């Protein structure tokens, strides 16, 4: 499965929980949240656009950095 790196404007544990919630609803993903660096690493066969759309459902600013 490809691994992707995203920058997400997360400030607190609640923000990280929101990211976890939307990714768990999507399914078929393994992810790691690096809250201090505001990064989310996602391993998934979903398209980059799908992952980006899913992360924006948190209401946070999201930027796709690239493959990891």
On the question of pLDDT at 33 being above 90, the answer is yes
**Mean pLDDT, residues 39-67:** 97
On the question of pLDDT at 68 being above 90, the answer is no
On the question of pLDDT at 53 being above 90, the answer is yes
User: What tokens were used for 33?
Assistant: 């949240």
> Which stretch of DSSP H or E encloses residue 14?
helix 13-26
Which domains are assigned to the chain? 3-67 (3.30.70.100)
Is pTM beyond 0.75 here? yes
- Specify whether the CB–CB gap between 23 and 60 falls below 8 A: no
Q: In which band, very low, low, confident or very high, does the pLDDT at 1 lie, cut at 50, 70 and 90?
A: confident
**Mean pLDDT, residues 6-16:** 97
- Specify whether the CB–CB gap between 19 and 4 falls below 8 A: no
């Amino acid at each position: 499965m490809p691994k992707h790196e995203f920058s997400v404007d997360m400030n607190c544990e609640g923000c990280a929980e929101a990211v976890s919630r939307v990714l768990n609803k999507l399914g078929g993903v393994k992810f790691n949240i690096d809250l201090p660096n505001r990064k989310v690493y996602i391993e998934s066969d979903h398209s980059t656009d799908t992952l980006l759309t899913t992360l924006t459902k948190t209401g946070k600013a999201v930027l796709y950095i690239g493959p990891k």
